[in-house]
């Protein structure tokens, strides 16, 4: 994973939340909230919270006395999430690295992480930290994207932008968000971290956008793919977005568009 893969700053948080969240994250966040709430936890730690889509879905489902600690490596994303959430005395916002959590052992009933594990430089270390802070019998609930070929818009955007930079194609989407999809590897790394009772469910959903332009803008300007494009030629960001728009429209039409998305949802016992 390149260093820039973890940089969610500048205008990215706003584009991410207003475009990417409804496009691909919202439906899975609702699933995550249901899964976590089903354990009736008194204490929850969320890592890699991003712009807070899971936080907004989960907070209303937790008890009035619950402790909910929301963390992210990127302070700009965490700041944006806190603003979107509004006042809630149960929620603690804290910048934190999922590989080096600033919490005591056995502090939480559930640790959850939606689409963050792919960004961990050392996933076994991240999983070991999640297990360390879980109480006995606690659960680690997280999700990762399936391979890029199972995610229509991401695949089409990647191919369109690659054609614009044939000698050095930006591969952020394939490399990182969609680069950790091997279920056998996920199970093996969780086992190395000490987790047992690992359940993996692959869930297919439909991604919708008001237009091909909205979908293309979400990926090209609301993710670190933007950093890769601008590192090659900042003047070509709009052209890259245009090419991605054309690619999506050619497959899904000129009006509202819909494409397949697919992810693995994992529940592991500590």
pLDDT score recorded for residue 16: 73
What fold is seen in the domain 3-269? Rossmann fold (3.40.50)
Q: What is the CA radius of gyration of the chain?
A: 18
Domain ranges for the chain: 3-269
- What is the per-residue pLDDT for 99? 97
Per-residue model confidence (pLDDT) at position 12: 63
DSSP β-ladder status, 67-72 and 134-145: unpaired
The b/e string for 103-128 (b: 16+ C-beta within 10 A; e otherwise) is: beeebbbbbbbbbbbbbbeebbbbbb
Spans of the chain below 70 pLDDT: 1-13
Quote the pTM value. 0.92
């Amino acid at each position: 994973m390149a260093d820039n893969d973890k940089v969610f700053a500048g205008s990215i948080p706003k584009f991410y939340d207003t475009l990417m969240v409804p496009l691909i994250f919202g439906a899975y966040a609702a699933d995550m909230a249901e899964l976590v709430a089903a354990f009736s936890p008194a204490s929850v730690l969320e890592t890699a919270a991003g712009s807070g889509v899971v936080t907004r879905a989960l907070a209303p489902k937790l008890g009035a006395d619950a402790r909910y600690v929301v963390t992210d490596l990127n302070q700009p994303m965490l700041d944006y999430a806190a603003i979107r959430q509004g006042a809630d005395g149960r929620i603690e916002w804290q910048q934190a690295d999922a590989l080096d959590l600033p919490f005591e052992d056995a502090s939480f009933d559930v640790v959850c992480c939606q689409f963050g594990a792919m960004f961990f430089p050392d996933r076994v270390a991240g999983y070991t930290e999640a297990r360390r802070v879980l109480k006995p019998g606690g659960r680690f609930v997280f999700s990762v994207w399936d391979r890029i070929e199972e995610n229509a818009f991401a695949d089409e955007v990647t191919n369109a932008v690659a054609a614009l930079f044939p000698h050095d194609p930006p591969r952020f989407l394939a490399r990182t968000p969609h680069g950790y999809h091997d279920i056998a590897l996920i199970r093996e790394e969780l086992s190395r971290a000490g987790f047992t009772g690992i359940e993996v469910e692959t869930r297919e959903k439909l991604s919708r956008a008001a237009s091909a332009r909205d979908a293309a803008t979400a990926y090209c300007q609301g993710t670190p793919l933007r950093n890769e494009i601008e590192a090659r030629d900042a003047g070509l960001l709009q052209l890259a977005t245009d090419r991605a728009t054309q690619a999506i429209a050619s497959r899904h039409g000129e009006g509202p568009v819909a494409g397949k998305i697919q992810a693995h949802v994992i529940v592991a016992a500590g």
